[in-house]
C-alpha cells in the first residue's frame, strides 16, 4: 500500500497536469467587458443628486440615537493597541451596544466605533459555540449613504470569554452617512445586519489639520507635501509627485522600475514638564495615479497630548526594478554581471549548489534556481560586508545540482539615503 505522502503526491501531480480550459480567458474578458466600478462613482459624479435624495429620503427620519460617551469599551484587551488603545482607556469611543443573533445561535455584538477625519474604526465580538465557528464569519462590511466597504483589521479569540474580538478599519464615510449598516455573513450565507447612528459631531477632533506646502527634491523627483490631518486617533499626510521624465516609475514602470519613498514622522510633546521626542509608528503608505498625476498618502498612529512639534524626515528612496532574467550557470561560472548583481561563483558542495553573489551595499535582489527544469529548494542564505563595508557578499545554498541549471532573477532594488527633514508643525507658546 502506498504511503499517505505518496498518494498525495500522485494526486498533486495529476492536479498539476490538468489543463486550463481554453475558453477561460474569453470568459474573463466577457465578465469584465461591460462592468463599471460600483464604488466611488456616485460620490464623485452624483454628489449633488445624492444630497437631494438624502434630504428627501432621510432628512426627516429620526432614528434612535445610540451613541454616547464616557465609557471604555470592554473585551478587546488582546487585539487593541497604539492610539486606539489609549483613546479607549479614556472612554473616547462611541458606544453602540447592539447585537444580532444568527439562526445557529451565534451572536455578533457591535460594541462601539471611533471616528475621525481619516478613518472609522469599529469594534465587535462574535460569540459562537467554538473558536472555529467564530472564525467562519467573514470580516464585517459597512454601508452608508453612497458609501460602503469591507473592513481590514484583526481579530483575536479569547478562550476565557469564548469570544472573537474584531477591530476593523474603514475609510472615513462621507458626511451624509450618518446611519450605517453593519453586515456580517455566516458560513451558511445568513447575513446579520445591525443599523446604528454615527454621530459625526462627536468625532475625534483634529489636533493638526493644515496645509503643508513644502517640497523636497530627491533623485530626480519632486515631492510636494500638501496636507496633514492628525488627530489623537490617526495621522495622514498627503501630497503629489512631480516626476518629470521619471513619471512612469509611478504609473507603470520606467525600464520596469518603480519607486517608493520612505519617510519618518517624529513628534515632540510635553510630559511631566519634559519635552519628549518620539517616532510615530507608520500604519501604511501608498501612491496612486490618475491622468498622469501621482498622489501619495502616508498613514501613522495618532498624536500624543500636549504636542509641541511635528517633524518629517525624508529618509530614503527605494527603486525596485523588475528584470526577469534567466542565466545558465554551472560550476565554471565566475563573475557574471546581471544588472546590479554579480554572480561571483558557483560551487558544488556535498551534492548541493552554492552560489555566491556580490552587490553594492545599497542593492538587494530576488532570485531562484532551476535545476533540470524544477525549482530547487533553498537550504540556507548568509551574507557579510566586504570591500570596507561598501559591498555585500551573499551565499545561497540550494539543494542538489544538475547538468541544466538556470538562475532566475525577478527583481533588483536599490536604496539611496536622503535624510532631509522639515518641521510640519510647531506649537505657538
What residues line the site for another protein (CB under 8 A)?
1-4, 7-8, 10-12, 14-16, 18, 20-21, 23-25, 27-29, 31-32, 35, 37-40, 131-132, 135-139, 149-150, 152, 157, 187-189, 252-253, 256, 258, 284, 286-290, 320, 322, 324, 411
By beta-carbon proximity to another protein, the closer residue of 14 and 335 is 14
Distance of CA 124 to the CA centre of its chain: 21
Q: At its nearest, how many Å lie between another protein and the CB of residue 123?
A: 18
How far apart, in whole angstroms, are the C-alpha atoms of residue 166 and residue 92?
Answer: 18
- Residue carrying the nine cell digits 546581471: 338
How far apart, in whole angstroms, are the C-alpha atoms of residue 347 and residue 331?
Answer: 5
What one-character-per-residue DSSP string does 145-160 give?
TTEEEE-EEEEEEETT
By beta-carbon proximity to another protein, the closer residue of 174 and 256 is 256
Q: At its nearest, how many Å lie between another protein and the CB of residue 425?
A: 26
Q: At its nearest, how many Å lie between another protein and the CB of residue 294?
A: 10
Q: At its nearest, how many Å lie between another protein and the CB of residue 398?
A: 18
Q: At its nearest, how many Å lie between another protein and the CB of residue 6?
A: 8
By beta-carbon proximity to another protein, the closer residue of 53 and 149 is 149
Q: Are 316 and 368 in contact (CB under 8 A)?
A: no
By beta-carbon proximity to another protein, the closer residue of 220 and 252 is 252
Q: At its nearest, how many Å lie between another protein and the CB of residue 79?
A: 12
242-247 long-range CB contacts below 8 Å, 24 or more apart?
Answer: 243/294, 244/220, 245/220, 246/220, 246/221, 247/292, 247/294
By beta-carbon proximity to another protein, the closer residue of 40 and 383 is 40
Q: At its nearest, how many Å lie between another protein and the CB of residue 364?
A: 15
Q: How far is CA 396 from CA 126, 160, 387, in A?
A: 46, 46, 20
By beta-carbon proximity to another protein, the closer residue of 185 and 215 is 185
CA count, 13 A, side-chain hemisphere, 135: 9
Q: At its nearest, how many Å lie between another protein and the CB of residue 320?
A: 7
Q: Are 69 and 87 in contact (CB under 8 A)?
A: no
Q: At its nearest, how many Å lie between another protein and the CB of residue 257?
A: 8
Nearest to 153 by CA among 89, 81, 260, 204: 81
By beta-carbon proximity to another protein, the closer residue of 246 and 308 is 246
How far apart, in whole angstroms, are the C-alpha atoms of residue 195 and residue 183?
Answer: 9
DSSP H or E run through 246: none
By beta-carbon proximity to another protein, the closer residue of 36 and 274 is 36
Q: Are 162 and 107 in contact (CB under 8 A)?
A: no
Q: Are 399 and 377 in contact (CB under 8 A)?
A: yes
By beta-carbon proximity to another protein, the closer residue of 1 and 428 is 1
Number of H helices and E strands in the chain, helices first, is 7, 25
Cell numbers at 97, concatenated: 451596544
Q: How far is CA 398 from CA 105, 133, 408, in A?
A: 52, 41, 13
Amino acid at each position: 500500500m502506498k504511503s499517505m505522502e505518496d498518494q498525495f503526491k500522485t494526486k498533486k501531480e495529476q492536479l498539476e497536469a490538468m489543463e486550463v480550459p481554453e475558453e477561460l480567458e474569453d470568459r474573463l474578458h466577457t465578465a469584465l467587458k461591460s462592468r463599471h466600478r460600483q464604488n466611488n462613482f456616485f460620490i464623485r459624479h452624483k454628489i449633488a443628486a445624492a444630497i437631494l435624495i438624502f434630504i428627501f429620503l432621510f432628512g426627516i427620519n429620526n432614528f434612535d440615537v445610540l451613541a454616547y460617551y464616557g465609557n471604555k469599551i470592554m473585551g478587546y484587551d488582546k487585539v487593541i493597541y497604539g492610539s486606539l488603545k489609549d483613546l479607549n482607556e479614556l472612554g473616547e469611543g462611541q458606544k453602540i451596544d447592539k447585537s444580532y443573533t444568527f439562526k445557529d445561535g451565534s451572536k455578533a455584538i457591535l460594541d462601539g466605533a471611533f471616528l475621525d477625519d481619516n478613518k472609522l474604526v469599529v469594534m465587535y465580538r462574535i460569540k459562537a459555540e467554538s473558536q472555529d465557528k467564530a472564525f467562519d464569519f467573514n470580516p464585517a462590511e459597512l454601508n452608508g449613504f453612497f458609501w460602503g466597504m469591507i473592513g481590514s483589521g484583526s481579530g483575536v479569540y479569547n478562550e476565557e470569554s469564548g469570544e472573537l474580538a474584531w477591530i476593523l478599519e474603514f475609510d472615513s464615510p462621507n458626511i451624509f452617512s450618518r446611519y450605517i449598516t453593519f453586515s456580517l455573513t455566516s458560513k451558511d450565507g445568513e447575513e446579520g445586519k445591525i443599523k446604528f447612528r454615527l454621530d459625526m459631531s462627536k468625532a475625534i477632533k483634529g489636533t493638526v489639520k493644515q496645509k503643508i506646502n513644502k517640497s523636497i527634491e530627491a533623485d530626480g523627483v519632486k515631492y510636494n507635501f500638501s496636507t496633514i490631518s492628525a488627530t489623537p486617533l490617526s495621522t495622514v499626510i498627503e501630497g503629489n509627485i512631480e516626476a518629470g521624465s521619471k513619471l512612469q516609475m509611478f504609473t507603470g514602470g520606467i525600464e520596469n522600475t518603480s519607486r517608493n519613498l520612505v519617510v519618518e514622522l517624529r513628534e515632540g510633546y510635553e510630559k511631566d514638564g519634559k519635552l519628549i521626542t518620539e517616532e510615530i509608528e507608520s500604519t501604511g503608505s501608498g501612491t496612486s495615479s490618475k491622468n498622469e498625476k501621482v498622489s501619495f498618502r502616508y498613514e501613522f498612529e495618532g498624536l500624543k497630548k500636549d504636542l509641541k512639534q511635528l517633524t518629517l524626515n525624508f529618509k530614503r528612496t527605494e527603486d525596485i526594478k523588475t528584470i526577469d532574467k534567466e542565466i545558465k550557470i554551472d560550476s565554471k561560472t565566475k563573475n557574471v554581471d546581471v544588472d546590479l548583481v554579480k554572480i561571483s561563483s558557483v560551487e558544488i558542495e556535498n551534492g548541493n549548489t552554492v552560489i555566491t553573489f556580490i552587490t553594492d551595499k545599497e542593492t538587494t535582489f530576488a532570485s531562484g534556481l532551476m535545476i533540470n527544469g524544477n525549482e530547487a529548494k533553498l537550504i540556507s542564505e548568509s551574507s557579510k560586508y566586504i570591500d570596507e563595508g561598501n559591498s555585500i557578499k551573499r551565499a545561497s545554498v540550494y539543494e542538489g545540482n544538475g547538468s541544466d541549471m538556470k538562475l532566475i532573477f525577478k527583481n533588483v532594488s536599490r536604496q539611496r539615503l536622503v535624510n532631509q527633514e522639515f518641521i510640519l508643525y510647531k506649537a505657538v507658546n
